[in-house]
């Protein structure tokens, strides 16, 4: 099976599951996000193994953050994330491992904040009053469309590398295609239901178009440090779970706060 066909088949299988969970909302979204977070954190712990991350602290912090996001919103989510620092310190204090404390604690906190915190914003987006379903669906589709068009645009017309040392496959031509697709999807989806004005939907599209590639490049930097091509092989040609979610880990928080700014 070719890599391209593998990508298509996996997308066909996963897309309905994601859409159904987004439509139902509540604990369905929580369950899906929780599963994605667990797999992504596991992949991250493996990549960061040389730094000896304190995985139990990260698991607990991410779990508390996700539960807090579902039950009480952003403040309790933040409280959950902050428990990671305390737990990591305590575990390191009683650990007999010789790995540097600074590296171990920093790797643990960063992974939890990046993955657990980033995914928690998907829950917060779905829980936005009245238009939460539309908000989350728009973010998912806009980022997915941007990634898809950037991929094909780069393969067809890509000549100028965006970050040759970090992610050689990304080109400025692909970025332009992806940006146009992201803005278009946000515009079409959000200029309905009296949710956002034309200008606001375009601004959100621009925010997503910038945040998503940055999230992708961030993970590429980590994979380069770890000396791996993909975070895992769970999704075949798509790589690992983290490879599919990296853009959302930056795009979801950016979208949430942008939408809150417009609603305020």
Is the torsion defined by CA of 147, 150, 151, 152 positive or negative?
Answer: positive
Express each pLDDT in 55-78 by its tens digit. 999 999 999 999 999 999 999 999
Q: Is 167 left (phi over 0), alpha (psi -120 to 50) or beta?
A: beta
The C-alpha atoms of residue 141 and residue 146 are separated, in whole angstroms, by 8
Contact criterion met (CB below 8 Å) for 74 and 125: no
Return phi, psi of residue 151, to 5°.
Answer: -65, -50
In this structure, what token pair is assigned to residue 111? 């992974």
The residue to which tokens 């068009």 are assigned: 149
Q: Where are the beta strands (DSSP E) in 128-232?
A: 161-163, 167-171
> Which CA distances in Å does 219 have to 27, 53, 106, 249?
28, 17, 16, 10
Question: CB count, 10 Å around CB of 75?
Answer: 10
Mind listing the pLDDT tens digit of every residue in the chain (264 residues)? Answer: 455 555 666 667 788 899 999 999 999 999 999 999 999 999 999 999 999 999 999 999 999 999 999 999 999 999 999 999 999 999 998 887 777 889 999 999 999 999 999 999 999 999 998 899 999 999 999 999 999 888 888 888 878 888 887 787 888 899 999 999 999 999 998 876 678 889 999 999 999 999 999 999 999 999 998 888 888 777 776 788 999 999 999 999 999 999 999 986
């Amino acid at each position: 099976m070719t890599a391209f066909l593998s990508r298509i088949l996996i997308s066909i299988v996963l897309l309905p599951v994601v859409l159904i969970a987004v439509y139902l909302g509540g604990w369905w979204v929580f369950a899906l996000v929780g599963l994605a977070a667990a797999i992504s954190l596991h992949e991250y712990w493996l990549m960061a193994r040389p730094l000896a991350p304190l995985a139990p602290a990260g698991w607990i912090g991410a779990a508390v953050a996700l539960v807090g996001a579902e039950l009480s919103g952003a403040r309790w989510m933040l409280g959950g994330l902050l428990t990671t620092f305390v737990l990591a310190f305590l575990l390191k204090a009683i650990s007999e491992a010789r790995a540097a404390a600074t590296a171990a604690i920093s790797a643990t906190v960063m992974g939890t904040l990046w993955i657990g915190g980033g995914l928690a914003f998907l829950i917060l987006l779905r829980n936005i009053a009245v238009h939460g379903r539309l908000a989350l669906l728009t973010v998912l589709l806009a980022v997915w469309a941007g990634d898809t068009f950037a991929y094909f645009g780069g393969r067809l017309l890509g000549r100028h590398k965006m970050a040759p040392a970090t992610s050689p496959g990304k080109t400025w031509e692909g970025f332009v295609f992806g940006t146009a697709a992201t803005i278009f999807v946000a515009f079409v989806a959000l200029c309905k239901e009296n949710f956002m004005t034309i200008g606001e939907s375009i601004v959100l599209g621009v925010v997503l178009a910038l945040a998503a590639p940055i999230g992708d490049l961030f993970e590429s930097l980590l994979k380069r440090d770890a000396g791996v091509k993909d975070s895992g092989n769970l999704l075949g040609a798509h790589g690992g779970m983290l490879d599919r979610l990296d853009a959302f880990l930056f795009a979801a928080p950016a979208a949430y706060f942008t939408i809150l700014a417009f609603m305020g």
